[in-house]
Structure 1
Amino acid sequence: MQIQDLLKQTDKLPNVPDIVRELIQLLSDPNAKYSDISERVSHDQTISLKVLRVVNSAYFGLSRKISSIDEATVLLGTDRLKTLVIASGFSNSVMKVEGLKLTDFWADSFRVAELAQWFAKRTPLVEADEAFTVGIVHNIGRLLLHLTAPSIAQEIQTLVANRKAGRVKAEQDLLGFTSQDAGRALMDLWKFPAGLGYAVQHHKRPFSNGEPDPLSCALNLACYLNACIRTERDSDLIREGFPYAVAKAAGLPEGIVYELDDALIINDGLNQLLH
């Protein structure tokens, strides 16, 4: 099988709103002006309503009700608004997927995004909004696989669940490529900035392609912490197993391991976008 065999099934691909694609492409332009973001967001009613619901939730704790995207932009700032729009746009891109529980899938992606952003804010080598975006889409290749080749996706799931193979090996054996490779190909099709696709493709093994990419490393660390949260791993074991070489390559300070408790309690407020 080739990745193109998946991408050719255009009727099954995730449907990401134009405003989300525009925002992600703007991330790679340091001179981009965000003055028209609220106007563009306002034109997508579904995203606007979801964003306003989250803005008015206890997650933000604002003192009064916000009724427009313009107000939300002023109070939250454009960066926070971008993260909400991107999260909302992706989580609404598919309504039903065979073999995946979408609420769990996106909740997991949101947490990885928040963790990747947390690490990015502590290193000069990674942009925080880029880290958030790659966190949201880090598993998009797996979603693509379930949408376009559900029987193979289920076979891979079974192998992994029965501990017959790790996910990367199972995908290589059954597909000839990994879901990370497929994720990058989908992002290239969507014309997202190349650096984001590269990070998605290489985050599982950031040292496998020569000089490690800091964004890939930040995403790798976010996935590590997310797995620790999911399995309720003890804090001492988290520090003991922490990938220090990956943290160094991401440009993080040596003492970052002593700040991890702050990351482990990151709020799941974005999950309100799923309802």
Structure 2
Amino acid sequence: MRIEELIKQTDKLPNVPDVVRELIQLLGDPDANYSDISSKVAHDQTISLKVLRIVNSAYFGLSRKISSIDEATVLIGMEKLKTLVIASGFSASVESAEGVNLRDFWADSFQVAELAKWVAKRSNLVNEDEAFTVGIVHNIGVLLLHLTAPETALEIQTLVDNRKASRMKAEMDLLGFTTQQAGQALMDQWKFPANLGVAVKEHKRPFMNDNPQPLACVLNLACFLNACIRSEREIELVRESLPKAVVKAAGLGESVMFDLDEALQIGNELSPLIY
């Protein structure tokens, strides 16, 4: 099988709204003009309703009900609005996928995104918005496989569940490529910034090249912390097992070791966007 066979099935691919794609293409551009983004969001009823629902949730604790995207932008700021728009756009991009519980899939993706943003805030090499975005799409290749080749996807999952092969080995044996590579190809097709696709492709093995990409390293650390949260690992064990080389390549200082308890307490504030 070839990656091209998956992404040419355009009728089965995630349907990411144009405003979300445009927003992602602007990430990392210091001269980007976001002035028309809120108006475009307002014209996308699905996204605007989701964004307003979470803005009016108990999490934000606003003193009055917000009824428009313009109001939301003023009260929570463009930075937060970007986060909500990207998350809501992806969570609504797929209606169903054989073998995938979409609520669990997006909840996990959003958690990794929040953790990636937390890590990026402590790095002098990585843009926070880009870290958040790659967190959301870090597993998009798996979703792509379930949408376009569900029988093969389930066969791979069975091998992994029965501990007969690691995920990457099962994918290479049955596909000839990894879902991280497929994720990069899909993001390239969407014309996302190239460094986002590279991060998705390399995050599981950020030292696969001589010069590890900082964004891939940030995503690697976010996935590590997410696994620690899921397994309820004790903080001392988290500190001991933290991959120090990845920390350094991500542009973090050693002081991050003393902040890890904060990362392990990060909740999934974006979960209302899934429903």
Aligned to 1:68: 68
Aligned to 2:57: 57
Matches within 5 A, 1:1-275: 1-275=1-275
In the alignment, structure 1 segments of 5+ residues that lack a partner are none
For residues 17-62 of structure 1, the C-alpha deviation after alignment (integer angstroms, 9 at most, x for no partner) is 0000000001132201111111010010000000000001111122
Secondary structure of the corresponding residue to residue 215 of structure 1: helix
Over the matched positions of the two proteins, sequence identity in percent amounts to 72
Report how many residues are paired.
275
**Deviation of 1:79 (Å):** 1.1
The runs of at least 4 aligned residues of structure 1 exceeding 2 Å deviation read none
Distance 2:15 2:81 in 1: 20
Aligned alpha-carbon RMSD (Å): 0.8
**Deviation of 1:100 (Å):** 0.5
Q: 2:163 corresponds to which letter in structure 1? A: R
Secondary structure of the corresponding residue to residue 145 of structure 1: helix
Secondary structure of the corresponding residue to residue 270 of structure 2: helix
CA contact (8 A) 2:28 2:127 kept: no
For residues 72-130 of structure 1, the C-alpha deviation after alignment (integer angstroms, 9 at most, x for no partner) is 11111111101100000000000101001000000000000000000000111000000
Q: 1:144 corresponds to which letter in structure 2? A: L
> TM-score scaled by structure 2?
0.99
**Deviation of 1:268 (Å):** 1.2
> After the TM superposition, which of the residue ranges 46-55 and 236-245 deviates more from structure 2?
236-245
Q: 2:231 corresponds to which letter in structure 1? A: T
Distance 1:228 1:160 in 2: 20
**Deviation of 1:250 (Å):** 0.5
Q: 1:212 corresponds to which letter in structure 2? A: P
In the alignment, structure 2 segments of 5+ residues that lack a partner are none
CA contact (8 A) 2:27 2:129 kept: yes
